[in-house]
């Protein structure tokens, strides 16, 4: 693979033009770590979330005036959220499906930031097990299928939130979702889903089988990821304020579950913490 440098002569047979040390380092990095570019995308997603959440002038047009900093883009203006701290006024008369679809871009931005670190393993596997000339396409296919699963889940969640009455949202909902998340952490379905996150599928080398293989891998990984993390995502969505902090905290948990050598310690260790948070949310609801 040639690094494009202006003025650099193309190598001719018998007249080798050798890599400079810096070229060799960069080239080696790209070959050994195909997940480097997706990792940069994840970092960019976090920067976008922070800027949108803090209302930097010129950025974060999706956050209407009056919405406090730390509120998630896309969560503002949803029906049923009137009067909630961190949420802007609802838009009466807007169909629920319109609000669900309208919130999807911000939802996907949040998914990229929150789930991206955990998905880097699958992206790396796809990259190093694909012919180099189609590596970027294969990794993009994996990412597209992975995000498609989360988009379907997100559309369902946003659609439900659009029709839930305001009196049922807020701290009571947060308490219920946190309690459910704590219980899910201890269940066998969570464990099976987390194990499924580490399964790979055969990746054919060329042609339509190769395209289907990358898409299938991303889809299956996405399904396993949703199965493992759906309760945590609901808790994050249900938080009436400070979603950025919730996103960051839950992203650390999700990433730790995927990366550490002893995942059950993390999964089971998070359960009492989520339970305590549920108690705290319930107490806040009574105040």
Q: CB of 268 within 8 A of CB of 188?
A: no
Q: Which is nearer to another protein, 83 or 204 (CB)?
A: 204
For residue 128 the two structure tokens come to: 């190093």
Q: How far apart are CA 150 and CA 250, in angstroms?
A: 16
Residue 98 contacts another protein per CB under 8 A: no
Residue 97's alpha-carbon distances to 103, 157, 260, 265, in angstroms, are: 10, 11, 39, 40
> Of all helices (H) and strands (E), which one includes residue 205?
none
List the one residue out of 150, 166, 66 whose CA is nearest residue 106: 150
Q: Near another protein by CB under 8 A, which window of 17-25, 76-84, 112-120, 229-237? A: 17-25
Residue 19 contacts another protein per CB under 8 A: yes
Q: Which is nearer to another protein, 6 or 207 (CB)?
A: 207
Q: Which is nearer to another protein, 199 or 245 (CB)?
A: 199
Q: How far apart are CA 236 and CA 175, in angstroms?
A: 11
Q: Near another protein by CB under 8 A, which window of 122-130, 152-160, 161-169, 233-241? A: 122-130
Residue 28 contacts another protein per CB under 8 A: yes
Q: Which is nearer to another protein, 167 or 262 (CB)?
A: 262
Q: How many CB atoms lie within 10 A of CB 257?
A: 22
Give the nearest distance from C-beta 190 to another protein in angstroms: 13
Q: How far apart are CA 144 and CA 168, in angstroms?
A: 34
Instruction: State the Cα angle at 146 between 142 and 150, rounded to 5°.
Output: 165
Write the interaction track for another protein spanning residues 133-172; mark x where CB under 8 A is met and - where it is not: x---------------------------------------
Residue 124's alpha-carbon distances to 50, 114, 194, in angstroms, are: 26, 18, 18
Give the nearest distance from C-beta 143 to another protein in angstroms: 19
Q: CB of 193 within 8 A of CB of 263?
A: no
In this chain, which of 36, 128, 186, 256 binds another protein, going by CB under 8 A?
Answer: 128
Give the nearest distance from C-beta 251 to another protein in angstroms: 19
Radius of gyration for the chain, computed over Cα atoms and rounded to the nearest angstrom: 22
Q: Near another protein by CB under 8 A, which window of 26-34, 81-89, 146-154, 177-185? A: 26-34
Q: Which is nearer to another protein, 126 or 177 (CB)?
A: 126
Site size toward another protein, by CB under 8 A: 36
Give the nearest distance from C-beta 120 to another protein in angstroms: 15
Q: Near another protein by CB under 8 A, which window of 8-16, 71-79, 167-175, 234-242? A: 8-16
Q: Which is nearer to another protein, 43 or 205 (CB)?
A: 205
Write the interaction track for another protein spanning residues 182-211; mark x where CB under 8 A is met and - where it is not: ------------xxx-xxxxxxxxxx-x--
User: Dihedral of the CA atoms 173, 175, 179, 185 (nearest 10)?
Assistant: 80
* Burial class of residue 7 (count of CB atoms within 10 Å of its CB; 0-12, 13-18, 19+): exposed
Sign (positive or negative) of CA dihedral 84, 88, 94, 97 = negative
Binding site for another protein (CB under 8 A): 1-2, 11, 13, 16-19, 28, 31-32, 128-133, 194-196, 198-207, 209, 261-265
């Amino acid at each position: 693979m040639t690094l494009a440098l202006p003025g650099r002569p193309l190598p001719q047979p018998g007249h080798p033009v050798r890599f400079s040390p810096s070229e060799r380092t960069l080239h080696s990095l790209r070959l050994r770590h195909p997940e480097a570019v997706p990792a940069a995308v994840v970092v960019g997603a976090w920067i976008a979330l922070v800027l949108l959440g803090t209302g930097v002038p010129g950025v974060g047009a999706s956050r209407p005036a009056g919405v406090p900093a730390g509120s998630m883009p896309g969560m503002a203006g949803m029906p049923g959220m009137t009067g909630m701290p961190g949420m802007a006024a609802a838009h009466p008369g807007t169909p629920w499906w319109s609000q669900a679809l309208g919130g999807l871009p911000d939802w996907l931005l949040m998914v990229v930031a929150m789930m991206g670190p955990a998905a880097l393993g699958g992206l790396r596997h796809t990259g190093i097990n694909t012919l180099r000339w189609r590596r970027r396409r294969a990794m993009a296919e994996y990412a597209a299928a992975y995000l498609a699963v989360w988009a379907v889940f997100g559309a369902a969640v946003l659609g439900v939130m659009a029709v839930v009455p305001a009196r049922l949202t807020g701290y009571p909902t947060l308490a219920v979702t946190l309690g459910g998340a704590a219980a899910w952490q201890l269940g066998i379905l969570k464990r099976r889903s987390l194990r499924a996150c580490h399964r790979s599928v055969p990746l054919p080398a060329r042609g339509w089988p190769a395209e289907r293989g990358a898409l299938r891998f991303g889809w299956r990984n996405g399904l396993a990821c949703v199965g493992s993390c759906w309760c945590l995502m609901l808790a994050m969505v249900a938080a009436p304020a400070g979603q950025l902090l919730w996103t960051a905290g839950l992203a650390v948990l999700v990433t730790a579950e995927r990366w550490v050598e002893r995942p059950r310690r993390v999964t089971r260790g998070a359960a009492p913490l989520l339970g305590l948070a549920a108690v705290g949310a319930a107490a806040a609801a009574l105040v």
